[in-house]
Structure formats: structure tokens, C-alpha cells
């Protein structure tokens, strides 16, 4: 995943670290666009239009991503792989010129009964907007299944907290804010809750004095330019928090908060020097 992970656990069992690593390795082996023999890479290399069976974990991420895409009116897409590559955010590495791109192909079909997918010509899978959150969930569910009930798990800035700390307190974490943001970030209690933040300050492309975000609007095929610095979502599922944070980043502050209210999401968007919070976020303050 190009990042590291950490775990704080109360009374961990023998082999806890190895178990978490094995869960994350399974996600990489199935869904990484940087691993040549991953299930995702093989799918992207296969001829368009052919149905291909995928593992259960892969299928769960595809189902969730398609759902978020539908509920966000296309602000989230799983088929941005071609855009990621030509803009220098994929496996091929950085570019030194602005590419000429059109709106990406969004044709992805999924049969949940047979766990098969197929793509249209030009549509390449990229699960980087949701798979890391799923990795957190997969490792967390393994911990819970092994009887580890109280822990805080973090993978590349996405976190999930279960139970409480040994002192009886919940797992308190500080929400990341952009380095240039003038205000203080929120401190949230992750008690059986996850948090994910999407921000244009983490990665980007600078060409001829212009900064281009690594977040793309699937509807235009271009990097976003809506003033959003970051979007944070709190959710029971880290996968859903991850995916929704990406979608809200693309939508922008006004439309993003309106959709968060409609979907009962606890969300905070930092944009154009202002903080915008959803109804669900405000309710958590009570």
C-alpha cells in the first residue's frame, strides 16, 4: 500500500502482528495496482468485455465502491486507473507534462452472485480510494475474531478503534488537518468507530508552477479544483469512511455536506478557508 501501519492493543495474543500483516498482505495481493501479479493488475491487463471471477474480499470492495458511486451521482469511481497512470500517480511513476485527457470510461459490471466483473474498453480499475480502509476493516475483524477486543489500528492515516483503553478512556485521535490550515483539528473518540481523511495536500503534481490534485472528478476526468483541502468521515466501517471521504472531496463543500446529511454521514470538509460540518458530525458533539 506504500505506507506503514501501527496497532495499540490490550492483551494481544501471540502472533498478533503477523495476523494483521497477513490480512493487509491479502488486500495487496488482490487489489494493488503496483503489484504486477495482483488480481487487480491481471484484470486490467485482460481483454475488455471478458467476465473474470474475483476473490470475496475484492468483490466486497467492488460492491461498496459501486454503491458509493451510485449514491454520490458519480463523484466516486473505481475505474480511474487510466487517469492515475497518465497523470503520474500510478505504477508508471511521475510525469513532467500535463496530459491530454478526456472523461474516463466508467463501464464496470459486477455480478454479485457469481463474484465476477468485467470492464469496458478504456476502463481500468483503481481501488486506492477505498481499499486501504477495507484493509483496516479486514485486519480489525481478524483481531476481533481472535478475541482481541480493545485496540486502535492505523494504516496510512486511516484508523479504527474498538473497545476502550486500559485506563477506561476511548481511543482518542486527532483528525489530520492540512499543514497550512490556520485552525486546530478535531479530537475524536474512536469507540467502535473508524475515521478516514482525504486531502489534496498529501499528494499532487506540480507543473509549470501549477499544483494539480491527485483526486480526480470522475465526471470530468480532470483533477479537482473546488477549493477542498480535506474531507474527513467518521463511520463504523473504515472502508466506507475511506470511500465517502474521497467522494465528498470531489463533490466540494456545499454539495458534499448536503449529500452527507442525506446519507446520515458524520463529515467535516475544510474548503476555501472555512470548516463545513454535517448534521451527523454536529450530533456527535452533544
Q: Phi and psi of 173, rounded to 5°?
A: -135, 150
Taking the mean position of all CA atoms in its chain, how far away is CA 277?
19
Mean pLDDT of 264-270: 97
Q: What is the pLDDT of residue 48?
A: 92
Please give the span between the terminal C-alpha atoms of the chain, in angstroms, as a whole number. Answer: 36
pLDDT band at residue 178, thresholds of 50, 70 and 90? Answer: confident
Question: Which band of pLDDT confidence, cut at 50, 70 and 90, is reported for residue 247?
Answer: very high
pTM score of the predicted model = 0.93
C-alpha cell read off for 135: 484493509
* Statement: residue 41 has pLDDT above 80: yes
pLDDT of residue 51: 96
- Measuring CA to CA, which residue among 22, 10, 14, 1 is closest to residue 161? 10
Q: pLDDT digits over 156-174, tens only? A: 999 999 999 999 999 999 9
The reported pLDDT for the residue numbered 103 is 57
Residue range 101-115: mean pLDDT, rounded: 81
Cα(186)–Cα(230) distance, integer angstroms = 13
Mean pLDDT of the region 36-53: 95
Task: State residue 11's pLDDT score.
Answer: 96
pLDDT of 259 higher than 60: yes
**Cβ–Cβ under 8 Å, residues 155 and 132:** yes
pLDDT given at position 82: 81
| Whole-number pLDDT of residue 204 | 67
Buried b (16+ CB within 10 A) or exposed e, 10-41: eebeeebeebbeebbebbbbbbbbeeeebbbb
More confident position, 89 or 270:
270
Amino acid at each position: 500500500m506504500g505506507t506503514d501501519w501501527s496497532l495499540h492493543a490490550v492483551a494481544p495474543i501471540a502472533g498478533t502482528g503477523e495476523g494483521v500483516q497477513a490480512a493487509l498482505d491479502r488486500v495487496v495481493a488482490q487489489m494493488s495496482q503496483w503489484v504486477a501479479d495482483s488480481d487487480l493488475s491481471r484484470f486490467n491487463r485482460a481483454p475488455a468485455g471478458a467476465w473474470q471471477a474475483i476473490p470475496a474480499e475484492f468483490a466486497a470492495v467492488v460492491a461498496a465502491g459501486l454503491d458509493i458511486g451510485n449514491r454520490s451521482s458519480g463523484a466516486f469511481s473505481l475505474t480511474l486507473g487510466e487517469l492515475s497512470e497518465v497523470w503520474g500517480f500510478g505504477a508508471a511513476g511521475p510525469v513532467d507534462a500535463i496530459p491530454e485527457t478526456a472523461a474516463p470510461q466508467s463501464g464496470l459490471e459486477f455480478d454479485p452472485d457469481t463474484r465476477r466483473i468485467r470492464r469496458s474498453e478504456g476502463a481500468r480499475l483503481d481501488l486506492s480510494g477505498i481499499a486501504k480502509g477495507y484493509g483496516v476493516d479486514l485486519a480489525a475483524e481478524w483481531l476481533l475474531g481472535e478475541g482481541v477486543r480493545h485496540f486502535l489500528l492505523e494504516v496510512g492515516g486511516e484508523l479504527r478503534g474498538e473497545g476502550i483503553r486500559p485506563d477506561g478512556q476511548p481511543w482518542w485521535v486527532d483528525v489530520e488537518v492540512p499543514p497550512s490550515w490556520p485552525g486546530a483539528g478535531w479530537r475524536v473518540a474512536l469507540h467502535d468507530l473508524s475515521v478516514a481523511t482525504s486531502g489534496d495536500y498529501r499528494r499532487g503534481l506540480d507543473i509549470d508552477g501549477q499544483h494539480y490534485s491527485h483526486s480526480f472528478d470522475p465526471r470530468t476526468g480532470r483533477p479537482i479544483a473546488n477549493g477542498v483541502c480535506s474531507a474527513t468521515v467518521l463511520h463504523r466501517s473504515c472502508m466506507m469512511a475511506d470511500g465517502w471521504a474521497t467522494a465528498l472531496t470531489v463533490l466540494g463543500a456545499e454539495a458534499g455536506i448536503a449529500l452527507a446529511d442525506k446519507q446520515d454521514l458524520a463529515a467535516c470538509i475544510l474548503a476555501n478557508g472555512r470548516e463545513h460540518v454535517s448534521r451527523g458530525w454536529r450530533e456527535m458533539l452533544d
